[in-house]
């Protein structure tokens, strides 16, 4: 791997390249959006108000980091705690409990791209209805407990490579209750993604063992720490996830000299800033789904095994439609007239639509990363003044993502959709 490609796979590159786009925004040199700096304090205040409403004045320390765990608790049901309790009663030690949670979280997060505005999941037994990320979480949990991802004899609550390779569109349609009247976006691509994950797990037996079990990541990460230390390195963890996941993304994604680089895309505004000759200088990386997975996988190491993380500050805000929609709905960003007209003609609806890899969406996502950093600076300072340590992952969980979702529900109650629609295959966000 060349240094240029290694850089584009790094978290540092996500933030640094987004910073360059933000500098262009300040000079009104963007291709598709206009940045309204005077609106940023209002956005930060709104995010802070949501956090204060739900956790103030004395419960800020209880804010969990952004991660999949919370989605499994939708409806105030402690599904993960209940699972872990059962595993413990059946003789699983903390290592094995953590392995099983990593098994579950890896599959569930990779299935967690946009489901569309109409799909829903009815939980067996309770009959409760869940949609979007929480619905996907609960559906994937039931598939996991029923052994849909395991070929290990006598052990349903596990994931292995052969189990993933056997997943097809029909399997997911059954597990996610998909019918013509209950459609989900990108079912086929999701199944293919899990199958390719199985392939990649088998190609890395030194990490995931001969069966290609995602949960063996627990042993690998702990063994890479200093002897006797309870501190893990997020940078090492990140590159391990990149090694596993880069080969599984659709082949149509960006490649450099024949090497795929995942969720990273050419961007016109970066190309204008470069000399135009270096293709790599015009690439804006995000690695959103991998970052969402990394945030999620950190949690079992902390809650189950008592580890802490260094270099966790390298993680960025997540460039997806809830966080990005926040800045559109509050007027921090507006589409330029030509882009708006183009998006509306594509969608044929009241909201503009663009291809997920199109320059408009890539620019929006880059701005989202940079603007989340700006909002975090404001909110973190307020928290520090209250004597509270506050991470980006906590702001994503209790603030920006929730704020974006609430604005969508308020302004578009029929669909609760993003203010900009994204035409994609369900494997990017």
Domain membership of residue 40 (yes or no) is yes
Share of the chain above pLDDT 70, in %: 99
| pLDDT of res. 428 | 76
Confidence of residue 92 (pLDDT cuts 50, 70, 90): very high
Give the separation between CA 388 and CA 145, rounded to whole angstroms: 38
Contacts of 143 (CB under 8 A, 6+ apart): 149, 175
Give the separation between CA 371 and CA 365, rounded to whole angstroms: 10
Domain membership of residue 38 (yes or no) is yes
| pLDDT of res. 277 | 67
| pLDDT of res. 166 | 97
| pLDDT of res. 425 | 74
Contacts of 260 (CB under 8 A, 6+ apart): 246, 247, 249, 251, 253, 254
Give the separation between CA 210 and CA 203, rounded to whole angstroms: 9
Give the separation between CA 45 and CA 332, rounded to whole angstroms: 13
The pLDDT of residue 274 is above 90? no
pLDDT tens profile 317-345: 999 999 999 999 999 999 999 999 999 99
In contact, 342 and 421? CB cutoff 8 Å: no
Give the separation between CA 39 and CA 141, rounded to whole angstroms: 40
**Could you tell me the residue range of the domain that residue 29 belongs to?**
1-65+268-287+313-428
190-218: average pLDDT: 97
Q: Which helix (H) or strand (E) holds 353?
A: strand 353-355
Contacts of 341 (CB under 8 A, 6+ apart): none
pTM score of the predicted model: 0.93
| pLDDT of res. 322 | 94
75-91: average pLDDT: 95
Helix, strand and coil percent figures for the chain, each rounded to 5:
55, 10, 35
Confidence of residue 276 (pLDDT cuts 50, 70, 90): low
Give the separation between CA 401 and CA 338, rounded to whole angstroms: 28
The pLDDT of residue 410 is above 70? yes
The pLDDT of residue 172 is above 90? yes
Number of independent structural domains in the chain: 1
Question: Which of the pair, 348 or 266, is modelled with greater confidence?
Answer: 266
Domain membership of residue 328 (yes or no) is yes
| pLDDT of res. 349 | 86
Domain membership of residue 379 (yes or no) is yes
Domain membership of residue 34 (yes or no) is yes
pLDDT tens profile 227-240: 989 999 999 999 99
Give the separation between CA 113 and CA 127, rounded to whole angstroms: 24
The pLDDT of residue 137 is above 90? yes
Domain membership of residue 51 (yes or no) is yes
Domain membership of residue 295 (yes or no) is no
Domain membership of residue 233 (yes or no) is no
Coil, strand or helix at 390: coil
């Amino acid at each position: 791997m060349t240094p240029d490609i290694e850089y584009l796979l790094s978290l540092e590159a996500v933030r640094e390249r987004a910073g360059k786009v933000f500098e262009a925004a300040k000079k009104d040199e963007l291709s598709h959006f206009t940045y309204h700096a005077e609106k940023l304090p209002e956005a930060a205040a709104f995010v802070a108000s949501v956090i204060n409403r739900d956790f103030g004045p004395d419960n800020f320390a209880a804010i969990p980091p952004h991660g999949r765990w919370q989605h499994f608790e939708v409806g105030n049901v402690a599904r993960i705690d209940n699972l872990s309790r059962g595993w413990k009663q059946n003789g699983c030690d903390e290592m094995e409990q953590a392995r099983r949670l990593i098994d579950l979280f890896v599959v569930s997060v990779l299935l967690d791209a946009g489901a569309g505005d109409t799909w829903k999941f009815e939980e067996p037994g309770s009959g409760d209805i869940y949609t979007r990320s929480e619905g996907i979480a609960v559906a994937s949990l039931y598939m996991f407990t029923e052994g849909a991802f395991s070929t290990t004899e006598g052990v349903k609550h596990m994931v292995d490579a052969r189990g993933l390779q056997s997943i097809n569109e029909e399997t997911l349609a059954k597990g996610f209750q998909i019918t013509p009247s209950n459609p989900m976006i990108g079912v086929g691509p999701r199944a293919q993604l899990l199958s390719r994950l199985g392939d990649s797990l088998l190609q890395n037996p030194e990490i995931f063992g001969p069966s290609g079990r995602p949960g063996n990541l627990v042993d690998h990460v702990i063994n890479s720490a200093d002897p006797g230390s309870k501190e893990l390195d997020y940078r090492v963890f990140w590159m391990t996830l990149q090694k596993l996941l880069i080969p599984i993304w659709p082949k149509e994604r960006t490649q450099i000299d024949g090497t795929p680089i995942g969720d990273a895309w050419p961007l016109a505004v970066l190309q204008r800033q470069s000399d135009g000759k270096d293709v790599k200088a015009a690439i804006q990386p995000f690695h959103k789904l991998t970052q969402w997975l990394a945030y999620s996988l950190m949690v079992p190491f902390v809650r189950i095994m008592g580890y802490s993380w260094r270099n966790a500050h390298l993680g960025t805000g997540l460039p997806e439609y809830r966080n990005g929609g926040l800045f559109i709905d509050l007027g921090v960003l507006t589409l330029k007239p030509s882009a708006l007209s183009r998006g509306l003609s594509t969608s044929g609806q009241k909201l503009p639509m663009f291809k997920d890899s199109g320059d408009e969406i890539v620019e929006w996502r880059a701005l989202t990363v940079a603007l989340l950093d700006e909002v975090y600076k404001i909110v973190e300072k307020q928290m520090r003044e209250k004597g509270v340590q506050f991470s980006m992952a906590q702001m994503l969980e209790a603030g920006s993502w929730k704020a974006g979702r609430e604005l969508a529900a308020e302004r578009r109650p029929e669909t609760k959709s993003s203010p900009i629609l994204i035409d994609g295959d369900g494997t990017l966000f």
